[in-house]
Structure 1
Amino acid sequence: MSGLPTLPDILSGTSSPDSALAHSLSILFESSPVLITTLEPQLAQSLSNASSVTSYSELIDTALEAIASWDVSSQSGFIAGHPRIGETKNLSSLSAKEQGGIHPGIAPTPPEVLARLAHLNACYEAKYPGLRYITFVNGRTRRAIAEEMEDVLGFEHSLSPNEPGVSSLMPVEVNGEEWIAELQRAIQDIGRIAKSRLKVFGVE
């Protein structure tokens, strides 16, 4: 895991896909195309004009304010940079640790829980087209997150890999009130995840 660039390097650099700012954002928020093409140049411009950012936590808050100004398509693209709950491949080291994949002395997640999570992800994405379930894990097990997802979806707690059927779900209206609420909740949880990552690097 590479470290965060220093705050002076972030604030003094010029905008580019390889800038210190882009690198920092990719660590804190997970990399996504919209992060590089939209968030990085937007923040670089605002920071160069009149920066009052004095900490990484303030940088995260500034980024969240910028994201809140985007159209919903860009916002949903931003949250898609985070892996699905229960994924075990192609994870950043931070995501793997947060999801319970790297904890010395703790048994790996049982395969039936991973299968349930895969089904719950499919169900969630059928109910909320264009969104991905994001939550601040905060040290909880994948089984606990599966139960949280079941509660969100209105399911009984279970380890079934295919019930209820995905085709039985009625999608909510894209850009409707419920859909927007889930989108905004996901973005706020990504902010909470980003701030928790600062502790890994011993910064604020």
Structure 2
Amino acid sequence: MYENQTDLTSILIQLCEHSDILTTKLVPELLQSVWVTPVGPIDPTNALIDRAIAIIHAWNADDQAEFIIAHPRIGEVKQLSALSAKEQSGGLSATTRVETPPEVLKRLEHLNACYEHVYPGLRYITFVNGRTRAAIAREMEDKLQLGHPLESYPHGPPLNEPVTEGLICVPKNSEDWLNELKRAVDDVGKIAKSRQKSVGL
């Protein structure tokens, strides 16, 4: 059982990224849950991760959104944790990864802005699962119902189209917005389980 708050915090930061709400809210609530109904150490059944995600789903929407935005945006290349950097490189190590083409990074930067305009207060979270950034760009385009200019680059439409401000916003706390928040929290759980396996916790 994880009775040491420092140890549990360290583990969850590795699995879920550092955030204030992780240390001040999730860890105390998770420890209380573990004391009430012990689950034992983190194990192949992912019992502790599942419990953490269940606790997060019970939070209000603002707290859930604060938790997920601790994850870096897809396409960020600076100040990434070692695990985020590996995931965003398609699962390759620092010595073997291939640099993402600049046009893909430019497209992702624009797609992140589009997504955050359409879903105010959220950040696009997805379980990369070994896929390239280009593949995630296409996934984001499909989510936003946009075209795929990378497929015809450099002769297709500009990578910064459409104009972000022209996209229709999904009202915060609407059913569609809350469904997207739930999907993001669930994907944080998938990411955490994948990280658990990769670091051998």
Superposition TM-score, scaled by structure 2 size: 0.90
Partner of 1:180: 178
Instruction: Work out whether 1:20 is the aligned partner of 2:7.
Output: yes
**1:64 partnered with 2:37:** no
Match of 1:198 in 2: 196
Q: What is the aligned-residue RMSD (CA, Å)?
A: 1.4
Q: Which ranges of structure 1 fall in alignment gaps of 5 or more residues? A: 1-7
Q: Match for residue 55 of structure 1? A: 42
**Following superposition of structure 1 onto structure 2, how do residues 119-158 of structure 1 map, counting pairs within 5 Å?**
119-158=110-149
TM-superposition CA deviations, 1:9-59 (whole Å, max 9, x none): xx122x4xxx11111111111111111111011111121233134434111
Q: Give structure 2 stretches of 5+ with no counterpart.
A: 151-157
- May I ask how many residue pairs the two structures share in their alignment? 190
For 2:173 and 2:180, the matched residues in 1 are separated by 10
Deviates more, 1:116-125 or 1:53-62: 53-62
Q: Secondary structure at the match of 2:149?
A: coil
TM-score (norm 1): 0.89
Which residues of 2 match residues 38-117 of structure 1 at below 5 A? 38-56=25-43, 57-100=46-89, 102-103=92-93, 104-117=95-108
Distance in structure 1 (CA, Å) of the matches to 2:19 and 2:200: 25
Report percent identity of matched pairs.
52
